[in-house]
Structure 1
């Protein structure tokens, strides 16, 4: 099942054509997006997602998103959903039609079912590989025009990384910087556990500020865990008590294998953190 609604509040048939072929989101990936998990009719981290949508739009010189309109269109999709208890709602905001200096941005929300493969990975964990992203941790500050840390529609590299992982018999990727430090996954944040403390890399190195990562940290802190935002080296991962990928749809997914080598069993750690994270939405 799918539900499609445009930013003006119009519901549309998702099986019909609606986007112009000269929309810059299609032609050049010139736009931004967010994906929100909805459970039992409640969107998770909606505020942080809309904050990040506005941040990404500002980085790309797009008009400031109308926050109230995005809240309404998200709720419109939720209200018209008649499928299962979980929905992935994708918010898409593009620059509009190519060649028109007065073009109105295109904005829509699409509600979709959660892939069964993603649901299995939440329970079973995944194997991942490390791939060099070809950037150093200071590049984002030196070259803001590269849009490192913006959630743009230009996802060709991220998708290529996923295909490379599949060729190597893995399900996902951890991108690394040229100094051997951890960046992020193609569609996720990295969380590392040592003892009773959670770690994640800082967004200032050119990665997305993770909405789910932030929510996991807040839930963990309420449960008595410590949290730190600081650089993580790839060499530290094999000895960690847990390595996880966090994103809206995958929630908190544990990594059991990295670059073909088994990681320490983090099943119990994952169960505790996943329970803390999910409990706040019951």
Structure 2
């Protein structure tokens, strides 16, 4: 079962047909940072999208070479130097019915301008709990309604983002980033089993810590553990590392030497 890349034709913006499964939420996406007209971590994004597609039974028949070529062509066509490119994979057109499956998935690439935000993030706690067994939280699904609601609530009270917790009251992630904390010069981040997206930057940062003998652990974290941390920061593909200023009424130190070191290592990473 093939994957069809939908490309622009003249001034016509590519779009999905009304019978596409994406309008039932059956779709995935990757957001890839573009730096100096080069896509960052292109292989890792391709690999994650393919793994997620297989879990959902969505055809993803595109080689890495073709994937990379489409990324480069789109970046060059849109004359993008710094920004991002979004790859959206739909379940494809299918007959009406929740259990129906598309036979040909569809893939669209969209570029956008983006400037890295420098100011530290102010977080609030989300006032509902997530089920860590929900498989959707480990997929980068197009269904972002929960994140939209949470981030709007954060902005309404003067914050920047919102932090989710699961039904065991363990920290998971924010609406668009993975969370790390520093305690006694040791890094901690929630484990995948707590119901989080295995972020690309998160994964790379864990590898860099191992390579440079920086102590880090993937464990379940309580809100109290976060509140008592020496420092907190977030990671995602566009921002890289972003410092956290506060969670609710708790204020953190933003100038921590380990964060500085990690930013340096990530910026020096050849695959970045």
TM > 0.5? yes
Q: Which residue of 1 aligns with 2:124?
A: 129
CA 1:179–1:211 in structure 2 vs 1: closer, same or farther (change >3 Å)? same
| TM-score, normalised by the number of residues in structure 1 | 0.84
Q: Name which of 6, 18, 23 aligns with 1:21.
A: 18
Structure 1, unmatched stretches of 5+, are 1-5
Q: Report deviation, 1:171.
A: 0.3
Q: Which residue of 2 aligns with 1:37?
A: 33
Task: Describe the superposition over 1:2-41 as per-residue Cα deviations: whole angstroms up to 9, x where unpaired.
Answer: xxxx95484445763533233221x212111111112123
RMSD of aligned Cα (Å): 2.4
In structure 2, C-alpha distance between the alignment counterparts of 1:50 and 1:153, rounded to whole Å: 16
Matches within 5 A, 1:187-202: 187-202=176-191
Q: Report deviation, 1:98.
A: 3.9
CA 1:275–1:71 in structure 2 vs 1: closer, same or farther (change >3 Å)? same
Matches within 5 A, 1:228-247: 228-247=217-236
Q: Name which of 143, 155, 158 aligns with 2:144.
A: 155
Q: Which residue of 2 aligns with 1:251?
A: 240
Q: Name which of 167, 175, 178 aligns with 2:167.
A: 178
Q: Retained in 1: the 8 A contact 2:120–2:244?
A: yes
In structure 1, C-alpha distance between the alignment counterparts of 2:170 and 2:21, rounded to whole Å: 34
In structure 1, C-alpha distance between the alignment counterparts of 2:130 and 2:5, rounded to whole Å: 39
Q: Retained in 2: the 8 A contact 1:37–1:44?
A: yes
In structure 1, C-alpha distance between the alignment counterparts of 2:71 and 2:230, rounded to whole Å: 37
Matches within 5 A, 1:38-187: 38-68=34-64, 69-83=66-80, 85-99=81-95, 103-114=103-114, 116=115, 119-120=116-117, 123-137=118-132, 139-140=133-134, 144=135, 147-187=136-176
Q: Retained in 2: the 8 A contact 1:240–1:264?
A: no
CA 1:14–1:211 in structure 2 vs 1: closer, same or farther (change >3 Å)? farther
Higher mean displacement: 101-110 or 36-45: 101-110
Q: Retained in 2: the 8 A contact 1:239–1:264?
A: no
In structure 1, C-alpha distance between the alignment counterparts of 2:128 and 2:11, rounded to whole Å: 35
Task: Describe the superposition over 1:181-215 as per-residue Cα deviations: whole angstroms up to 9, x where unpaired.
Answer: 11111111111112332211111222111110111
